[in-house]
Amino acid sequence: HHHDAWEGMKITLAAPEHGEAALGLPALGGLFARGATPTLNDARIPNRCFLEAVFNLGFIRVEGSLHRINWRDMKTEELGSVYESLLEIRPSLAPNGEFVLDSGARGNARKTSGSYYTPDSLVETLLDSALDRVLEKAEANAETPENKAAAILDLRVIDPACGSGHFLLGAARRMADRVALWRNPDAGKEEKQAALRDVVSRCIHGTDRNPMAVELAKVALWIESVSPGQPLGFLDANIRCGDALLGVFELAALEEGIPDEAYKPLTGDSKEAAKYYGKLNKDAKKGQGQLDFHGGGGAMPPKKLAANLATIKRMPEDTVGQVEEKKRRFEAWRHDPARYATKVACDLYIAAFLLPKTEVPDARGRDMVPTTADVRRRLAGGTNYGPMEATAIDAAEAARPLHWPLAFPDIMIEGGGFDVVLGNPPWERIKLQEKEFFAGTDIGDAPNSAVRTRMIDALANAEVGTAEHALYTSFQVAKRIAEASSAFARVPASSGGRFGFTGTGDVNTYALFTEHFLNLARKTGRAGIIVPTGIATDATTAPFFAHLVNQSRIACMYDFENRERIFAEVYFRVRFCLLTLGDDIREAEFAFLLTDPSQLEDQRRRFKLQPSAIARINPNTKNAPVFRSQADAALVASIYSRIPVLMLEAAGVEGNPWGMSFMTMFHMSNDSHLFHTEGQLIASGYKREGSDWVSANDPTNIPRFKPLYEAKML
């Protein structure tokens, strides 16, 4: 029967959804549900080819002999490195219908996404300081073992830039081990697995702007937490795709209205149109008082949003049918008209930044850029100008904003934030890097930026429908999103901005993420983040670090040099730190210039400082003081407690008892022609008298040269 040539493949691929006794497969659903595999559902492939593919997945030939690939013992984290290497290749179909994987192709997404796979040792070290304290506190507040297990399951953990889920796996394992032991001190493998499944479905959350990362994180969590005889859990509500830094963070921002900064002209905008929409928005903000978020039609009140999602998340997941039902209810919740009104209002808010302001409309009511009036009308249940709203929603979807109160209302609105925020977010500038965008094309290989700009301008004239035209269009969109994201990040707190401290200078994502981590964590929670050490030492982030010091938010900061290549792809001189933030921390713990996490075990390398001591040591900037050891820190702290500061900038004349002023006398580079070494002076006939150098031929004996001390020599 020729149809049997296809049948085996069909049975095998359909089996994980509903189970297949003949193959000994239980029903898993989830990843294998029909709705999740549209490409495979009707795909057909002869059994022979299918068998060959399966064989190649299971065995590998090394020098002529067959070896079985041991998938069972592969650590789930290794998916992370698989993901990293997948980012480096682009699949495409060749004209002859062949499937090609090109690794030299343009836009090597890994290099262009600033993402680096975090080594285990760092993940574990961060979990020690950020997660364990929160777990211990939760257990301490509960009376009985059952309550202690329940208290851990009530904690909410998130990685807002989760990649393939490395931090989430580490956190889930630690939490599950404790849950299992509180439930039964002699817990075996099965009980630990059941606990892991509970932890993953209830406690673990993540977001990432890369859709493939989101899928991989789900797969990693499924592989890790699958329990015998149980279907794969429902993770769509926990792991969300979107840009954590772009989007509405608090619904109150909608009530305040769209910030005026949204209408500042960006590249390609017309000043006149920007001014027109800016004025329209200002007038709209004056016009209307408080929104009726709690009463009648229109948007769903925040509390109800939260309660509804919380109810869905508590639904059981013991059978494939229950998981499907949960998914159905979640989709219905997402598309509920009252919730949808809030989502569109949030999209309009963000689209005001994203949409080009190119022309003043010829008639009222035909505005193509949303203003506060449109946001309010949408929330109140009214309708907006159709073409404008459709364009705005499309623009928002292209940028993938994440609206936090809508993605996690049960946690953000009801719970007041997450208990633990963890991660290693991308360290990159928001500015679109042309070289990286065009990596792998002639433009990317241009010798300098002037040539590159000329080549990009030439692309602009490409014919519609050509690959060049498509490339140019995607470049324009990416550039617009980057510029608008930067404008969004720079909105001051007084206008409802999310990044009151770090949205300044050449905005870098790592600084924004640090402030974001702090805002995501609830008062009693902790945030642990891996970022460049600049967060504590740079001038642009100084106001933010001073805020952390003043508010006693720093729990610990461990600074590393990448000399031993902890991050293999990052330059060896780069310094980064594991920064853990909490609330009301009496003493912050520091360690500097480590090259390996194991050095933290040496107590001499770590030192504690109270916020007041940091403020005394660096009173003008409140930057983190860098010491190599506990002894150095203690010595300096004691000197500073006895001796007043030379000059306190904030205190004006009072703070400057010595009447000091600063000037730059010499620049090492600009004034290098004025400097001479001892050797040069001797060769020119000079001799030393005391610390001065005088010319042997000069009877007046006037010293011509004096020693120059750099600040660092004092």
pTM (predicted TM-score): 0.85
Residue 580 has pLDDT above 70, yes or no: yes
The secondary element (H helix, E strand) that includes residue 324 is helix 320-335
* pLDDT confidence band for 110 (50 / 70 / 90): very low
How confident is the model over 416-452, as pLDDT tens digits?
999 999 999 998 877 777 777 887 677 877 888 888 8
Sorted by sequence, the CB contacts under 8 Å of residue 219 that are 6+ apart come out as 31, 79
Please give the single-letter amino acid code of residue 628: R
561 phi, psi to nearest 5 deg? -100, 140
Sorted by sequence, the CB contacts under 8 Å of residue 314 that are 6+ apart come out as none
Give me the mean pLDDT over the 457-463 stretch.
86
How confident is the model over 115-141, as pLDDT tens digits?
567 888 999 999 999 999 999 999 999
Residue 581 has pLDDT above 70, yes or no: yes
Give the Cα-Cα-Cα angle 510, 513, 514 (nearest 5 degrees): 90
Residue 464 CB coordination number (10 Å)? 7
Q: What's the gap between Cα 439 and its chain centre? A: 23
Residue 34 CB coordination number (10 Å)? 13
- The rounded distance, in Å, linking the Cα atoms of 230 and 319 is 7
Q: Which residue has the higher pLDDT, 429 or 165?
A: 165
Residue 108 has pLDDT above 60, yes or no: no
Burial class (CB in 10 A: 0-12, 13-18, 19+), 535: buried
* pLDDT confidence band for 236 (50 / 70 / 90): very high
The secondary element (H helix, E strand) that includes residue 424 is none
Burial class (CB in 10 A: 0-12, 13-18, 19+), 476: middle
- Three-state DSSP string of 514-579: HHHHHHHEEEEEEEEEEEECHHHHCCCCHHHHHHHHHCCCEEEEEEEEHHHCCCCCCCCCCEEEEE
Return mean pLDDT, the chain: 88
Q: What's the gap between Cα 633 and its chain centre? A: 33
Q: How many CA atoms lie within 13 A of 116 on its CB side?
A: 21
In the prediction, which pLDDT does 103 show? 63
Query: Could you tell me if 205 and 419 are in contact, meaning their C-beta atoms sit under 8 angstroms apart?
Result: no
Q: What is the CA radius of gyration of the chain?
A: 30
What is the per-residue DSSP string for 23-51? GTBPP--GGGSGGG-HHHHT----HHHHH
In the prediction, which pLDDT does 573 show? 80
Query: Could you tell me if 178 and 225 are in contact, meaning their C-beta atoms sit under 8 angstroms apart?
Result: no
Considering 154-158, 586-590, 611-615, the range whose residues carry the highest mean pLDDT is 154-158
Residue 289 has pLDDT above 60, yes or no: no
Give me the mean pLDDT over the 343-355 stretch.
97
* pLDDT confidence band for 279 (50 / 70 / 90): very high
Q: Which DSSP symbol is given to 118?
A: P
- The rounded distance, in Å, linking the Cα atoms of 83 and 347 is 30
* pLDDT confidence band for 1 (50 / 70 / 90): very low
How confident is the model over 387-401, as pLDDT tens digits?
999 999 999 999 999
In the prediction, which pLDDT does 185 show? 95
- The rounded distance, in Å, linking the Cα atoms of 200 and 165 is 12
Q: Which DSSP symbol is given to 705?
A: B
High-pLDDT (> 90) share of the chain, %: 51
Sorted by sequence, the CB contacts under 8 Å of residue 556 that are 6+ apart come out as 129, 578, 579, 580, 588, 589, 590
61 phi, psi to nearest 5 deg? -95, 125
In the prediction, which pLDDT does 105 show? 45
Sorted by sequence, the CB contacts under 8 Å of residue 144 that are 6+ apart come out as none
How confident is the model over 202-232, as pLDDT tens digits?
999 999 998 888 988 999 999 899 888 888 8
* pLDDT confidence band for 293 (50 / 70 / 90): low
* Residues belonging to the chain: 714
- The rounded distance, in Å, linking the Cα atoms of 608 and 586 is 10
- The rounded distance, in Å, linking the Cα atoms of 573 and 180 is 43
The secondary element (H helix, E strand) that includes residue 130 is helix 120-130
Task: Give the pair of three-digit tokens for residue 564.
Answer: 């031993």
Terminal-to-terminal C-alpha distance of the chain = 91
Q: 588-594 and 554-561: which strand pairing?
A: parallel
Residue 471 has pLDDT above 90, yes or no: no
* pLDDT confidence band for 107 (50 / 70 / 90): very low
How confident is the model over 492-530, as pLDDT tens digits?
999 999 999 999 877 889 999 999 999 999 999 999 999
How confident is the model over 32-83, as pLDDT tens digits?
888 888 888 888 888 888 889 889 888 988 888 999 988 777 787 777 677 6
In the prediction, which pLDDT does 111 show? 47
How confident is the model over 302-330, as pLDDT tens digits?
889 899 999 999 999 999 899 999 999 99
Residue 393 CB coordination number (10 Å)? 16
Q: What's the gap between Cα 324 and its chain centre? A: 30
In the prediction, which pLDDT does 622 show? 84
- The rounded distance, in Å, linking the Cα atoms of 72 and 47 is 25
- The rounded distance, in Å, linking the Cα atoms of 120 and 125 is 9
Residue 150 has pLDDT above 90, yes or no: yes
Residue 624 has pLDDT above 50, yes or no: yes
Sorted by sequence, the CB contacts under 8 Å of residue 667 that are 6+ apart come out as none
Q: Please, which residues bridge with residue 558 across strands?
A: 578, 591
What is the per-residue DSSP string for 217-250? HHHHHHHHH--TT-PPP--TTTEEESBTTSS-S-
List the one residue out of 345, 349, 370, 347 whose CA is nearest residue 258: 349
In the prediction, which pLDDT does 487 show? 95
- Given the structure tokens 């989430």, which residue do they identify? 168
Query: Could you tell me if 419 and 157 are in contact, meaning their C-beta atoms sit under 8 angstroms apart?
Result: yes
